[in-house]
Structure 1
């Protein structure tokens, strides 16, 4: 078999393409029209040194490579069995495979070159003498957290990328290592194939939305995963290629593993020929299963073929592709909501711009505040990222739930995180129904999506079912929904996706992921079959996820996405006080405790909170114990009452109740006056709000009363980053936390499966 390989940026030189320009005048005319300048002049004369500028280099190399390929085909009549390209060269491989025509290719690389040319302040360096694993280990050990691996060019040549100063610092460090033969700085303006190309890749994706790709006729091996392109993945791969490593070593190893393979370099230069010879002499083939090859070119396989020795995982391929597509995400990753705006508007925007989904923490906030913050989020993201809003169950005040539902409908929030629900409520149905519309073809669609956070199978079953018929009927009678909406509600589940919440910060049933996830996944499958739902409901995992090992375990259990919470509370964007963040950054896995939930005090619901350095858990549990064993405050002994008023509340019960009168409606106050136990509950619940406010505001005089929702995941995260710059929470950003966690999870899984094989 034969593979044609196409070189990328770096092979440009004055005079390239001289032998083919006159042979394809029609194509040159097309190129000049698209580019707005003479490509022949750029290549042959290099006016003002333009050939070294990325916006000119990339179209020039693509065009010369393409013409030389066409010339070779015309002269030899040979069609290669496979094609591959290094970075920019992948566009030539796709052109050869007829995924797009010449004009489209020129348009694509013109835009790509312009976007990459605009990226400044970055640098790249080739490290020669170390393997990719060794380079990664050095980066990790030396806390070079701002450096990414950009290219795996050969087994002992790895290119790193990052901010220019950081690359210079890394160069100095690598040069002290005995095995390193040379570190060479590359002449580039940006940190290509790294996280710093994120914005450029997003903008490039907008252009790709306008392109229609043809059926691939020759198997193309992708840079991002060293596997055969799937037709549906063309756009995704081209976006990812800009901000992910070029897996050139594994690309060649993959092709070597397919059978006896000859490689021919087509284009301007012979740099790939040298790389391939090194890979062939220094690396072993990847042995591939038959089903790993998408095309019919499997004649060289035998029944003795072994399974792959490696399983390649990437941060943005973890989890369910369907889930990522449903919410237009790059990562199957959610930053879950945190009470009273701790998952702030800034946190939501930061995560959204990085291709993640974050939920705004609306619980405990006024409707005016929620609306203002949602408008801020919508304006900041402006279609460039997903976002959602938390919808916290309010069992005592269903009217508040409905008001929140109407606010979300009014502001066109298309996804909510339903949390702390024990069943379906009318407000949830109202929100779901408002998203049901009829498209131009007469098909009913639901635009409003619910991700339900559950920790009990019976609650999961309620969300995996259609809306309760009696509630739908009532809403219809009250003319809050239409007949068509009511009919459609019978055919769809209440939740579009389920997040299984194991033991975690905030509300928790102390669930165990190893038991919950498999059970609810099976329940999901049964419910989908029972109701014949057409769109698969994804199952996510939350609770205890603060390290790569925990994330990997969740994915291994079958999670389609992961949700983090506690680890995001100790980030720059979290809407709590610096004092709290200072404390949280020092906590370990044993520094949490369970206490009553203030919003569900009477029900005995539990939340997990910070124990280290505070008295809140002990005091909150004391209040609940008193509530259970007494019918009124008057029944409590005087010593205990004085202790609560002086030490806990720092004010009298009477002054607390006077304050409550200003916030609760007349009916509730009348009920409290006539029901001493209810009055005791209201007064005790005040302490929970008070303690929460102390923490968020950072009141240093009452630190012992801080109520801080958190789980042991943050303690595990703190230990994971203990020897890095992220030990300081001021260097923790919610998007970087997510990316780092996912990338490390992918690395962990790669290592695990490689060792297993």
Structure 2
């Protein structure tokens, strides 16, 4: 099988994630490096005994460290594993960035920690929210959002996750108005407001994007052997990491199209989701039901996957 690796984004985090992996020396080493690079106690973030995982500044380095630790274990235990391409949802692109060796673990965690601070600062400026739209009529939704924007309402497309789900985001009052209009005009089968720390991937994060421009100015990215497909351009990253990761904060993601690219251009026939949840596997299934799906979110998942890949439980 040719695998497409899927790295989870913010929202997938769960209290207690990663704790059972700490028995593995390589995972523990990853967390120690991440803690030093971020200036945070990543183990405490994993535990979230004081609701650390409800804050962007804690979630982002913790989730990327979690993904990096698992991927490093995979490289050790399955040296011939056929990873043909990678895609991460939003924050998950940093997991893919580190896994593909575009940047070192230490520098990647340092970078994502600063990104989280910039985003937290923007999120604290305005009361914002997001809403997932199930089976949307994209043209109808676009007309609704455009009409609201024309009356100075800040509500925008945020995520194109799959053929069956998109997300909108913006100021809380504007999102509520949009959801009401979408329901009234039957522009989606269902609209579900989301509990999030900010309206990510909208112009509400323009200031964070500007700060990332400065932060990325002196960061060097290596050429990768495994293609990583950008949420922003739906093309493989080349020497444009800095430019795209700056833009990424304030423009919509296109995860579903990235999975389709991996199918059409890379030839994947299976996905492996790395992260504490199966949301991305669900999106990938909506893109192409022929794909086989695997998931690693805890140590039991990991052991099962390793055994199957070694032919122990075929």
Q: TM-score, normalised by structure 1?
A: 0.36
Counterparts of residues 158-307 of structure 1 (less than 5 Å): 158-178=166-186, 180-231=188-239, 233-258=240-265, 259-281=267-289
**2:21 match:** 20
How far off its partner does 1:267 sit? 2.3
CA offsets 1:534-562 (integer angstroms, 9 cap, x no match): xxxxxxxxxxxxxxxxxxxxxxxxxxxxx
Structure 1 counterpart SS, 2:86:
strand
Kindly state the Cα deviation for residue 220 of structure 1 after the two structures are TM-superposed. Answer: 0.6
Deviations 1:563-620 (A, max 9, x none): xxxxxxxxxxxxxxxxxxxxxxxxxxxxxxxxxxxxxxxxxxxxxxxxxxxxxxxxxx
Helix, strand or coil for the counterpart of 2:90?
coil
**Distance in 1, Cα, partners of 2:116 & 2:154:** 24
SS at match of 1:81: strand
Q: How far does residue 116 in structure 1 lie from its aligned partner after superposition?
A: 0.9
Match of 1:29 in 2: 32
Note the alpha carbon deviations across 1:705-741, whole angstroms, 9 max, x for none: xxxxxxxxxxxxxxxxxxxxxxxxxxxxxxxxxxxxx
Q: TM-score, normalised by structure 2?
A: 0.84
Judge conservation of contact 2:129–2:194 (CA < 8 Å) in 1. yes
Q: Is the 8 A contact 1:125 1:167 kept in 2?
A: yes
Match for residue 5 of structure 1? Answer: 6
Question: Any conservation in 1 of the 2:30–2:68 contact (CA below 8 Å)?
Answer: no
- Distance in 1 between residues matched to 2:250 and 2:94, nearest whole Å: 16
Q: How does 1:133-148 map to 2 (within 5 A)?
A: 133-141=139-147, 143=150, 146-148=154-156
Match of 2:306 in 1: none
Cα deviation digits, residues 311-330 of structure 1 (max 9, x gap): xxxxxxxxxxxxxxxxxxxx
Higher relative contact order (CA 8 A, sep 6+): 2
Matched with 1:43 is 46
Q: How many Å apart are 1:52 and its aligned residue?
A: 1.1
Change (3 A) 1:209 1:52: same
Number of the residue aligned with 2:118: 115
Mapped to 2, the partners of 1:184 and 1:195 lie a distance apart of 21
Shift of 1:255: 1.5
Shift of the alpha carbon at 1:212?
1.6
Correspondence for 1:83: 86
- Provide the rounded CA distance (Å) in 2 between the counterparts of 1:164 and 1:59: 26
Alpha-carbon RMSD: 1.8
Report the Cα distance in structure 2 between the residues aligned to 1:64 and 1:280, rounded to whole angstroms. 27
The CA deviation at 1:115 is 1.0
Cα separation, partners in 2 of 1:134 and 1:227, compared to 1, 3 Å: farther
C-alpha deviation, 1:53, in angstroms: 0.6
Structure with larger Rg? 1
Unaligned 5+ runs, structure 1: 283-757
3-state SS of 1:11 partner:
coil
Question: 1:319-361 CA deviation, whole Å, 9 max, x = no partner?
Answer: xxxxxxxxxxxxxxxxxxxxxxxxxxxxxxxxxxxxxxxxxxx
Q: Deviations over 1:649-694 (max 9, x none)?
A: xxxxxxxxxxxxxxxxxxxxxxxxxxxxxxxxxxxxxxxxxxxxxx
Conserved in 2, the CA contact under 8 Å of 1:135 and 1:158?
A: no
Question: Could you tell me how far 1:97 is from its partner in structure 2?
Answer: 1.0
Within a 5 Å distance, the mapping from 1:506-521 to structure 2 comes to: none
